[in-house]
Amino acid sequence: MFEKNNILKLFLALALIVQMSMAKAQQAQDSLIISLDQAIEIALEESNSIKIADLTIEKTGYARKGSYAALYPNISASGSYQRTLKKQIMAMDFNGQAMEIEVGKWNNVNAGINASMPLINAQLWQSLKLSALDVELAVEQARSSKIAMVSQVKQSFYAVLLAQQVYAVYKDVYDNASKNFEHTEHLYNTGKASEYEYLRAQVNVRNAEPNVFSSLAAIDLAIWQLKAVMGIDLETKIGVSGEIDMYKDEMMAYDADLMSPSLDNNSTLLQLNIQSQQIERTIKMAKYQYIPTLAASFAYNYIAMGDDFKFKWNPYSVVGLSLNIPIFDGFSKRNNIKQYKATQDILQLNIEDTERNLRIAIKNYNNLIDTYIKNYIAAESTLEMAQKSYDIAEKMYELGKATLVELNDAQLALVQAQLTMSRTVYNFMVTKASLEELSGKEE
């Protein structure tokens, strides 16, 4: 009875795994299968971070156009109406006799056009150049967002491929354990295998089940993370094409001396350099505050007054120049300039530290890649031996010349070699994506 219950549970577990595998296969058929290039293309179109970066460029462009408005004449129309509640009394002496006279009208109307325009304003011209740098910085920040997005998509895509490879390995382990159990069960029923071997074979199947379940769950989670990075609906059914092992040739062909990235296009350094230019422009703008400014103005107005609304309109117009010469402001300008120069020195030190840290990161990534390549070569030779060892152990077990423990040991070594190779390729591709992000490489 005990054996029948165990066999029943074993077949139920087997049926469940088969059902999950069929469901996964059906889901793959119903899903949109995308390549890495397609995933990147979708992310660049759908990701909110990319949309925000593009809108920031657009917003900064409008701000720059708005700053140019200061170069054009500022024209405005105005009008006013006043109703006198009590007229002003003017007192005077006329031939020695005091007199009081009401002056003004009950209704007063004023309407006209006013215009002004800067003629000489060095500070304004520097602010326009500063606005141009704002746009340049926004463009570089948007480029940085796209580079980071591409790197994230690549790493998430590779994670899905690795999860699928891990599932395939653990599924093979489960299938082999099930096959060995069936063989052991046959030997046990014919009295050629002990109960220990029978129970051990059954335990092997049970031990293989959690890895299959967890690897299936890992695939789903990796796909969800990929969809989140791409910026698409999490309920969208997608799958990925390819295998993680197909990048092994790229890994083996990598030469750190030839392919080590340059920092010339690193987005972080480029942004810091633009910020340095902005501070330089700000310092010039502060210095130009010492230069006099000259502005032109023009006004054309109509005035009408009367005790009733039968007005007689009287025009008048003026044109003028306004010169402003700064003399003393309590050393405000000088202190502002010193403050900006201190900020510039701090930024320059940050640039040096950032470049130094980036070079260290590149060196570290290259060392990791070199280690991955060596690990892969070692695992590749180990895999060949492990596969041969497992095949021999499997044949010997079928002939009754090897124990189940020996077969399990051979399979464990094979699984470790397979997973080591796949994870090494994955680690290489993730590190390479990070290097490409540091170099500022665009797709």
In order along its 443 residues, the chain shows pLDDT tens digits of 445 455 544 454 555 555 555 545 444 455 789 999 999 999 988 888 888 888 888 888 888 887 788 888 899 999 999 998 888 888 877 777 778 888 888 899 999 999 999 988 888 888 888 888 888 999 999 999 999 999 999 999 999 999 999 999 999 989 988 888 888 888 888 887 788 888 888 888 888 899 999 999 999 999 999 999 998 888 989 999 999 999 999 999 988 777 777 889 999 999 999 999 999 999 998 998 899 999 999 999 999 888 887 778 889 899 999 999 999 888 888 999 999 999 999 999 999 999 999 999 999 999 999 999 999 999 888 888 988 988 888 888 777 777 777 888 888 888 888 999 999 999 999 999 999 999 888 76
CB 269 within 8 A of CB 354: yes
pLDDT at 67: 79
CB 186 within 8 A of CB 400: no
SS3 call for 233: coil
Angle (deg, nearest 10), helices 332-398 and 122-189: 10
Domain spans of the chain? 31-74+120-294+328-439
pLDDT at 308: 81
DSSP secondary structure code for residue 245 in this structure: G
pLDDT at 24: 52
Tally helices (H) and strands (E) across the chain: 10, 8
- CATH annotation of 31-74+120-294+328-439: 1.20.1600.10
For residues 208 and 196, give the distance between their C-alpha atoms in angstroms, rounded to a whole number.
18
Instruction: Classify burial at 239, counting beta carbons within 10 Å of its beta carbon; exposed 0-12, middle 13-18, buried 19 or more.
Output: middle
- pTM of this structure: 0.78
